[in-house]
Amino acid sequence: MSKSNQKVTEMDIPAYITSLGQRARGAARHIARADSGQKNDALLAIAAALVAERKKLLSANQKDMEAGKQSGLDAALMDRLELNDERINGMAEGVQQIAALADPIGEITDLAYRPSGIQVGRMRVPLGVIGIIYESRPNVTADAAALCLKSGNAAILRGGSEALYSNQAINNCIQQGLQQAGLPGDIVQVVEITDRLAVGEMIQLQEYIDVIIPRGGKGLIERISQDARVPVIKHLHGVCHVYIDKAADLDKAEAIAVNAKTQRYGTCNTMETLLIDQAVAGEILPRLAARYKDAGVEMRGCDQSRAIIKDMVTATEADWDAEYLAPVLSIKIVDDFDTAVSHIQQYSSAHTEAIVTEDYSAARRFLREVDSSSVMVNASTRFADGFEYGLGAEIGISTDKLHVRGPVGLEGLTSQKYVVFGDGQVRS
Amino acid sequence: MSKSNQKVTEMDIPAYITSLGQRARGAARHIARADSGQKNDALLAIAAALVAERKKLLSANQKDMEAGKQSGLDAALMDRLELNDERINGMAEGVQQIAALADPIGEITDLAYRPSGIQVGRMRVPLGVIGIIYESRPNVTADAAALCLKSGNAAILRGGSEALYSNQAINNCIQQGLQQAGLPGDIVQVVEITDRLAVGEMIQLQEYIDVIIPRGGKGLIERISQDARVPVIKHLHGVCHVYIDKAADLDKAEAIAVNAKTQRYGTCNTMETLLIDQAVAGEILPRLAARYKDAGVEMRGCDQSRAIIKDMVTATEADWDAEYLAPVLSIKIVDDFDTAVSHIQQYSSAHTEAIVTEDYSAARRFLREVDSSSVMVNASTRFADGFEYGLGAEIGISTDKLHVRGPVGLEGLTSQKYVVFGDGQVRS
């Protein structure tokens, strides 16, 4: 692989990416027709190969880790890059779990007779060729390949350059699995050149790639969305809110507001701003402040909050926009429900918002009026996740409105065509 | 209107379109929250206004017709442009029918408990602001406004410059209806400048327009798709096929192949290429040729077809790609099922394809392997239509795979967000 990589000069990149696209388009027809058994055989063989090739995976990863050390990758990136026994087992189990999911392809729904006598329904079909652009975690290679394969799509995977050897070793296991199941290897292709121009070419390749899914930081995704000609399923940032309504059960409010902030700091469904109705702020804010202090969370509050908790930092305008991904929380006391919803409409990234309330009408209004990919009543924002929602696995969380919104599982990688059954009907 | 039109100079166009976008975004919040009764009230009031303002509509249309005559519009365009009593009644009835459809907004589906105790489902929500770019037919103004309104979206409508006065008169009726129902007028805005730059601005306005739906010729749609930064729901051309399988019931085959070609020539779901299995060509082709001759359909055939029907024109490569929209048909005799499917894969525009067969396995394979927005067994391609499919109305037929495929009704103008109901659950 390193050889072919060195051979591809800048001049060749468009031709190279186009050839990947052409091969993917050809392979897409095969995987679209593959039956569920054959797809599951391939997935289980991939999982077995990941375990059997453990040593090769670790040694390829070692090469990436050494290169990363030399190029001065920071500790967080090095951690993401690392493969170890546990992570390899996790990858294999992930692929097995995808094998165990129901096959979405071919499902016919809403089949009904029309007055003309024809019977019309919708059949779930693959999208075709999916391009996935991601950063350092090599496990995405196995996850993404497995999700695309199960949903009947061909995949072109462009991982981070720092994980090139690891991704290639994982792809070798994928190729073994495809071969064992009698499926063409081109169903999954890993881009072997690290030049950024390769990404630029992929996102222009409308003829051969049906959708691009970028997984990574906000910067990567905005850059790709800006330049792409191929449709992009975007997973932007999460500025998630919890609103403690005046009719909240304060024990639930405490549990949810603590969990939504502190259960994990670096995830997109972590609460970044807490809104508290002024009617209950005097009672609930001191309880929460004590919990946040214990957890080491820095609080940045509005003036009203600071009147209750004196040693809080003052929140600036930038705080209401911030996705901290860190033990930092902005806190605002609001006059009422409407003020809370207005604040969310202004500052939310439309990812996930929760209300804590026992009031029926407030719950209904919040569900209807808050326009985010997940809207919750009396539950922690941390639940916004494909596994927790029962999708079985996810390739990301869409903050788009078109095609798919929220956690994207197998169904998000499919489309529906109309099917019509007749007995010779003609239109009059 | 003509005054404001004249006042907008080229310099002002970006600012003008941006202001439409801002006003639409503001109005979108109102219409998203409007309840079904209020939306239906507005629709019925619009329908009533269209009938009550008949004279004004006719006189505005007369101005457009005269301008069209002077600028030398061809007869087909003049016909599309014309409003008369029947067409005005048709517009009003169309709006009433949309009022009678079920409200898609707020519907919650797939609500299920998860092991964590949370209950997760999906709620149907509007897309936000929809930009519609269309050509000469003024009735699209009423149709599109009504579909957007019912699905809880704000609309920015940019009709053909040749229909400007008609569209403005229709918009006056829409404004009356919105006002009577107590809804903001900015829910529906008609672009008042005819400069093409206005379209260029609309399709770049990512901040304020969520999706663009172009309705018109292939050229218009390709141009818009090429330059748009806003997502586009495309309705491209229809190169539709009927394949008469060797196991076809030949009476059904005759009825379907005649209807699919001759029932209307100018529609995108009209058959353009007929594929006949060689096993039955000798029997069915002469029967069909006689019918096509009676109907005045010009046949262009492959060599094998011409061996059966001597006076057929030779089909060239360009014929297999052609959307004639005219009484012309290309005919090819194929060796078998696989050859037919390969031909379709190569030449189809992925709009609508039909097989005529009594063979169970051939029907199943065709449904699975043909990747078009509608795939039919023993029915005429002419059924590919929102009304025939039971959508109640359609704003176009999507030949895209993402978001919505096939006839686009109210549901295609919506998205789904996740809703979560809990009792204080936190993630562990």
Judge: A427–B382 Cβ closer than 8 Å, yes or no: yes
* CB-closest option in B123, B231, B252 to A424: B252
| Cβ count within 10 A of residue B78 | 16
Q: How far apart are CA A94 and CA A150, in angstroms?
A: 13
CA–CA–CA angle A178, A182, A185 (5° rounding): 40
High-pLDDT (> 70) share of chain A, %: 97
Q: Is the CB of residue A199 less than 8 Å from the CB of residue A229?
A: no
Query: Which of B288, B415, B421 would best serve as a mutation to test chain A binding (most A beta carbons within 10 A)?
Result: B415
Is the pLDDT at A372 greater than 70? The verdict is yes
Give chain B positions within 8 Å (CB) of A127: 401-402
Judge: B263–A426 Cβ closer than 8 Å, yes or no: yes
Closest of A417, A420, A394, A385 to residue A143, by C-alpha: A394
- Tell me the pLDDT tens digit for each residue of B339-348: 999 999 999 9
Please compute the mean of the pLDDT values over residues B85-111 and round it to a whole number.
96
Is the pLDDT at B162 greater than 60? The verdict is yes
Is the pLDDT at A142 greater than 80? The verdict is yes
pLDDT at position B7: 53
Residues, chain A, total?
Answer: 428
Coil vs helix vs strand at A183: coil
Judge: B420–A377 Cβ closer than 8 Å, yes or no: yes
Burial of A226-262, coded b for 16+ CB within 10 Å and e otherwise, reads: eebebbbbbbbbbbbbbbbbbbbbeebbbbbbbbbbb
Is the pLDDT at A8 greater than 60? The verdict is no
Q: Which residues contact A332 (CB under 8 A, 6 or more apart)?
A: A273, A274, A275, A276, A301, A302, A304, A305, A315, A320, A343
Q: Is the CB of residue B52 less than 8 Å from the CB of residue B91?
A: no
Coil vs helix vs strand at A58: helix
pLDDT at position B235: 84
Closest of B221, B231, B147, B46 to residue B409, by C-alpha: B147
Please compute the mean of the pLDDT values over residues B6-15 and round it to a whole number.
70
Interface of A with B in 90-119 (CB under 8 A): 106, 112, 114, 116, 118
Please compute the mean of the pLDDT values over residues A27-49 and round it to a whole number.
97
Please compute the mean of the pLDDT values over residues B123-137 and round it to a whole number.
94
Q: Which residues contact B177 (CB under 8 A, 6 or more apart)?
A: B42, B43, B44, B45, B46, B47, B48, B49
Nearest C-alpha in A relative to B204: A226
Give chain B positions within 8 Å (CB) of A415: 401-402, 405
CA distances from A96 to A49, A103, A143 (A): 12, 13, 10
pLDDT at position A270: 97
pLDDT band per the 50, 70, 90 thresholds, residue A392: confident
Give chain B positions within 8 Å (CB) of A263: 426-428
Is the pLDDT at A11 greater than 70? The verdict is no
Q: How far apart are CA A282 and CA B392, in angstroms?
A: 54
Residue spans of alpha helices (H) in A34-134: 36-52, 54-70, 75-81, 85-100
Q: Which residue has the higher pLDDT, B288 or B1?
A: B288
**CA B1 from centroid of its chain's CA atoms:** 29
pLDDT at position B9: 59
pLDDT band per the 50, 70, 90 thresholds, residue A235: confident
pLDDT at position B76: 85
Q: Determine which of A181-190, B54-63, B82-91, B387-396 has the lowest per-residue pLDDT on average.
A: B387-396
Q: At A152, which amino acid appears?
A: G
DSSP string, B123-187: EEEE-SEEEEEE-S-THHHHHHHHHHHHTT-EEEEE--GGGHHHHHHHHHHHHHHHHHTT--GGG
- How distant is the Cα of B315 from the closest Cα of chain A, in angstroms? 27
pLDDT band per the 50, 70, 90 thresholds, residue A393: confident
Is the pLDDT at B1 greater than 60? The verdict is no
CA distances from A116 to B273, B317, B388 (A): 24, 36, 8
- To the nearest 10°, report the CA torsion of A68, A69, A72, A77: 60
Is the pLDDT at B2 greater than 60? The verdict is no
Q: Determine which of A297-301, B193-197, B205-209, B337-341 has the lowest per-residue pLDDT on average.
A: B193-197
Beta bridge partners of B109: B122
Interface of B with A in 209-228 (CB under 8 A): 210-211
pLDDT band per the 50, 70, 90 thresholds, residue B72: very high
* CB-closest option in B128, B415, B425 to A380: B425
Q: Is the CB of residue A412 less than 8 Å from the CB of residue A151?
A: no
pLDDT at position B11: 61
pLDDT band per the 50, 70, 90 thresholds, residue B4: very low
A18 touches chain B (CB under 8 A): no
Judge: A389–B114 Cβ closer than 8 Å, yes or no: yes
Judge: B418–A259 Cβ closer than 8 Å, yes or no: no
- Tell me the pLDDT tens digit for each residue of A239-283: 999 999 999 999 999 999 999 999 999 999 999 999 999 999 999
Q: Determine which of B115-119, B170-174, B226-230, B346-350 has the lowest per-residue pLDDT on average.
A: B226-230
A62-65 own/partner pairs: CB under 8 Å, 24+ apart: A63/A165, A64/A138, A64/A162, A64/A163, A64/A164, A64/A165, A64/A166
Q: How far apart are CA A19 and CA A23, in angstroms?
A: 6
Please compute the mean of the pLDDT values over residues B235-264 and round it to a whole number.
96
Is the pLDDT at A10 greater than 90? The verdict is no
Judge: A210–B402 Cβ closer than 8 Å, yes or no: yes
Is the pLDDT at B264 greater than 90? The verdict is yes
pLDDT at position A236: 79
* CB-closest option in B112, B356, B376 to A420: B376
Average pLDDT, chain A: 94
Cβ-based burial of B58 (10 A; exposed 0-12, middle 13-18, buried ≥19): middle
- Tell me the pLDDT tens digit for each residue of A313-331: 999 999 999 999 999 999 9
Q: Determine which of A151-155, B87-91, B226-230 has the lowest per-residue pLDDT on average.
A: B226-230
Q: How far apart are CA B243 and CA A147, in angstroms?
A: 34
pLDDT at position B3: 41
Judge: A371–B402 Cβ closer than 8 Å, yes or no: no
Interface of B with A in 242-271 (CB under 8 A): 249, 251-252, 255-256, 258-260, 263
- How distant is the Cα of B281 from the closest Cα of chain A, in angstroms? 18
Query: Which of A25, A427, A428 would best serve as a mutation to test chain B binding (most B beta carbons within 10 A)?
Result: A427
pLDDT at position B112: 97
Q: Is the CB of residue A156 less than 8 Å from the CB of residue A132?
A: yes
Judge: B426–A377 Cβ closer than 8 Å, yes or no: no
pLDDT at position B8: 55
pLDDT band per the 50, 70, 90 thresholds, residue A76: confident
